[in-house]
Amino acid sequence: MYPEMVRDFWEIAWKAANQMWRAMVFCLLQVLVLGAVAVACCVRAPMIISVVIFFMTFVVGHFVNVLSKAVGRMGTLVGTIAAALVTMLIPDLESLNFSQEVVGVDDMIGISVMGWGLAYTAVYTTAIVLLALLLFRNREVL
């Protein structure tokens, strides 16, 4: 038997489990945002277009920080406005991604970070669901 595993096994296991449930909360928050986008797309658009919009939201949502910084570096007023518009319209899913922190057990995800992630998700999901309600209200039912 390996003595280094037995010595601090339960302490290491507790830290890893504590970190994993925090990471699972952030995965749930990403799913909530993407679910709201999927519902909003399915209200008005056909299924294929909804799938494409949903997939593009997922992909671009993980690159929104990089895109906004690249557009903001142009230094023009149009670039600054475009960067602000991109960050407002597309959900920043990378702010809910803490895969690097989960790998290292010593780097704990703080409760305040979880609170800000929950607040961001609540505001964004509420806004998207309200938009879906407005779109559904104007839809004609045959």
The tens digit of pLDDT for each residue in 17-75 reads 877 888 888 889 999 999 999 999 888 888 899 999 989 999 988 888 887 777 777 77
pTM of the predicted model, to two decimals?
0.77
pLDDT tier, 114 (very low <50, low <70, confident <90, very high otherwise): confident
Q: Which residues contact 121 (CB under 8 A, 6 or more apart)?
A: 29, 32, 33, 96
Q: Which residues contact 49 (CB under 8 A, 6 or more apart)?
A: 41
Is the per-residue pLDDT at 88 higher than 90?
A: no
Distances (CA, A) of 34 to 28, 39, 58, 74, 116: 10, 9, 7, 30, 18
DSSP one-letter code for 97? -
Q: Give the closest residue to 33 by CA, choosing from 100, 103, 93.
A: 93
Q: What tokens appear for 8 in the block?
A: 């601090």
